[in-house]
A = this chain, B = another copy of it.
Amino acid sequence: MSTPVTLTALLYGPDQTGLVARVAGWIFQRQGNILHADQHRDREAGIFFQRIEWEIAPGISANDEEKAFLEFSRNVIKMQARIADSIHRPRVALFVSKAGHCFHDLVLRWRAGDFPCEIVAVVSNHLELASVAQSYGLPFHHFPIFADTKVAGEAAQLALLNELGIELVVLARYMQVLSGDFLEKFGRPVINIHHSFLPAFAGGRPYHQAHARGVKLIGATAHYATRDLDEGPIIHQDVARVTHRHGVEDLVRKGRELEKMVLAQAVHWHLENRVLVYGNKTVVFD
């Protein structure tokens, strides 16, 4: 007997009486079995959010069920919906520059089975990580982009992402700003790790800024990349304690740990369809 297929839907829209019952009723009626359902009401904004995960009846097509659910949510309950099934493993590209800590960490977790996805490409503006990518058996694509070649370079990157059917880009300390144009044309999520507790120390050299200000905690922030640098919806943040004993070098070293943990957690939640974006915020159903 095969493992049952599960669907996960993320829904949101104007709050109405009976939403939980109607969604649960629709699933029940089609002989689905709800495994988890988590909902949230933003009372100030009058918005209802739900993540619901269910097993579909045996022998039924997951694709058909997904279409039916999207139709139900659009036409009957009038909610924005996104849906994913447990068969499909999203295709992911990692963007890196020179620093390898997040890259190694993500690949090792992926190989340990932590991430339900396929990492199919490593994209870089430098060559430092080419050989380790290859030692992991991952195709490495080099795009040495400079100010005057940015338009052409991004076009080439986009062509590659399209050709490979990439559904998620993870910026694993990719030290080059993606243009708003690139993000728009790609049209799919891009997760970035910023090496500070945003909104503190946005912009460049955040550990230097933190050291100069004499803060007692440093942070890292994983967020979706948007046209406005460092302003995208925050998925996850964490901090670590520092003291006067820590020079900038130490902040960088401690920060690497944070960056790895925070980025890995954000990617994990994203791949488990736990992150719902609305406006400039996220609802994380963890």
Contact = CB atoms under 8 A, between A and B. Distances in A.
15 contacts: A20-B24, A21-B25, A22-B28, A34-B39, A36-B39, A38-B38, A42-B244, A42-B247, A101-B108, A101-B112, A197-B217, A198-B200, A198-B213, A214-B234, A217-B238
Contacts of A281: 213-214, 244
B238 A213 contact: no
Contacts of A38: 38
Number of copies of this chain that the complex holds: 4
A43 interface: yes
Interface string A11-37: 000000111111011011001011111
A215 B219 CA distance: 12
Contact of A24 (B24, B35, B100): B24
B21 A27 contact: yes
B34 A20 contact: yes
The secondary-structure label for the interface of chain A is mixed
A21 B34 contact: yes
Contacts of A22: 28
A217 B244 contact: no
B24 A283 contact: no
B233 A40 contact: no
A174 interface: no
A197 B199 CA distance: 10
Interface of A: 17-22, 24-25, 27-28, 31, 33-44, 49, 100-101, 104, 108, 112, 114, 135, 197-201, 213-217, 219, 233-239, 243-245, 247, 253, 256-257, 261, 280-284, 286
B214 A239 contact: no
Given A199-B213, A213-B234, A214-B234, A35 B41 contact: yes
Nearest to A27: B21
A253 B268 CA distance: 12
A104 B259 CA distance: 17
A106 to B, nearest CB: 12
Contacts of A31: 17
Across the A-B interface, the 6 shortest Cβ-Cβ residue pairs: A214-B281, A21-B28, A21-B24, A200-B200, A244-B283, A20-B34
B44 A247 contact: yes
Nearest to A262: B216
A28 B23 CA distance: 12
